[in-house]
Amino acid sequence: MAEPLLAIRDLRAGYGDAVVLDNIDLEVPEQGSLAVLGRNGVGKSTLLLTIMGYTAVRRGAVSFKGRDITGWQPHRRARAGIGWVAQEREIFPSLTVEENLTVASKPGRWDLKAVHELFPRLAERKNSKGNQLSGGEQQMLALARALMTNPSLLLLDEPMEGLAPIIVEEVARAIAHMMSDDKMAVVIVEQHAELALKMTRRAILLERGQIVHRAASADLARDKATLDRYMGLSIARSV
């Protein structure tokens, strides 16, 4: 059996004295895709931050490509091949679009030509500063910049949040195309459950910092009772 790209074992983690995640066990295979779903405040973003190395791990381990990275700093994880698109986007406002894309790029399939094909409006606005872009354009830039690092694992934290419906559709199509990349695995936290489940193969539901349900994404998409139980109004808005 192939070793998973990402493995989390018996994880307990949080911030300062506060424990947010407990008893977390999960795997993401090479080229795998995982949707992380649940109500607001249940630990979804904290899970991604823990994978990136921004939380205090009190128990358990995080492994990537067969190596224990539990004690690694975030920049070392990024160099090892973990890409991250934060909820806040965190683009560089004073740099141009092209400078944002190339500042941390690495050789690989995803270069300027490839991301411009994925997001044509970034090519049109290549000389615009980051702070001159609309919210949707900033999200496209954040996604494209992460792709330019050519990661083995890409973490997406609420990539559709705050976007107009027409931009949600455009970004969702781009993410679906990204997920067809045969060299990259993706973990996505998303309140638009229907979209996330369409784009991924596996899904987990979090409640109070613990995994309470695991399923194939297609099966969970049909399980409206479970979605309603753990997502409530969130799923009602997205289907």
Instruction: For residue 231, give Cα distances in angstroms to 5, 206, 223, 238.
Output: 28, 9, 12, 10
Residue 59 lies in a domain: no
20/208 Cα distance (integer angstroms)? 8
Is 65 exposed, middle or buried (CB count within 10 Å of its CB: 0-12, 13-18, 19+)?
A: middle
* pLDDT score at 203: 98
Higher pLDDT, residue 87 or 100? 100
In whole angstroms, what is the distance from residue 13 CA to residue 15 CA? 7
DSSP for residue 182: T
Specify if 24 maps to a domain.
Answer: no
pLDDT for the residue numbered 189: 96
Q: What is the pLDDT of residues 154-170, one digit of tens each?
A: 999 999 988 888 888 88
The residue-averaged pLDDT of 179-202 equals: 90
H or E element in which residue 194 lies: helix 193-199
- Taking all residues of the chain, what is their mean pLDDT, rounded to a whole number? 92
- Kindly indicate the confidence band of residue 1, based on its pLDDT and cuts at 50, 70 and 90: low
At 196, the pLDDT band (50, 70, 90 cuts) reads very high
Q: Answer yes or no: are the C-beta atoms of 50 and 10 closer than 8 Å.
A: no
CA atoms within 13 A on the CB side of 120: 2
How far is the C-alpha of 217 from the C-alpha of 136, rounded, in Å?
26
- 228 belongs to a structural domain: yes
Q: What is the DSSP string of 90-148?
A: ---TTSBHHHHHHTT--SSS--HHHHHHH-HHHHHTTTSBGGGS-HHHHHHHHHHHHHT
Q: Does the structure show a pLDDT above 50 at 239?
A: no
**Alpha carbons 41 and 72: distance in angstroms, whole number:** 26
CATH number at residue 196: 3.40.50.300
22 domain-assigned: no
Q: In angstroms, rounded to a whole number, what is the distance separating the alpha carbons of residues 23 and 10?
A: 5
What is the per-residue pLDDT for 232?
79
Would residue 114 count as lying in a domain? yes
Tens digit of pLDDT for each residue in 24-58? 999 999 999 999 999 999 999 999 999 999 999 99
Number of domains in the chain: 1
Query: What's the whole-model pTM score?
Result: 0.92
Q: What's the average model confidence in pLDDT over 62-74?
A: 97
Residue 34 lies in a domain: yes
Got the DSSP string for 28-97? E-TT-EEEEE-STTSSHHHHHHHHHT-SEEEEEEEEETTEE-TT--HHHHHHHTEEEE-TT----TTSBH
Give the range of the structural domain holding residue 151, as residue numbers without chain letter: 30-53+81-238
Residue among 20, 4, 91, 10 at smallest CA distance from 54: 20
Distance CA 215, CA 209 (A): 18
Which position has the higher pLDDT, 141 or 89?
141
11 lies in some domain: no
pLDDT digit string (tens) for 92-139? 999 999 999 999 899 999 999 999 999 999 999 999 999 999 999 999
Q: Long-range contacts for 220-228 (Cβ within 8 Å, ≥24 apart)?
A: 220/37, 221/193, 221/194, 221/197, 227/37, 227/193
67 within a domain of the structure (yes/no):
no
| Angle between helix 135-147 and helix 165-179 axes, rounded to 10 deg | 10
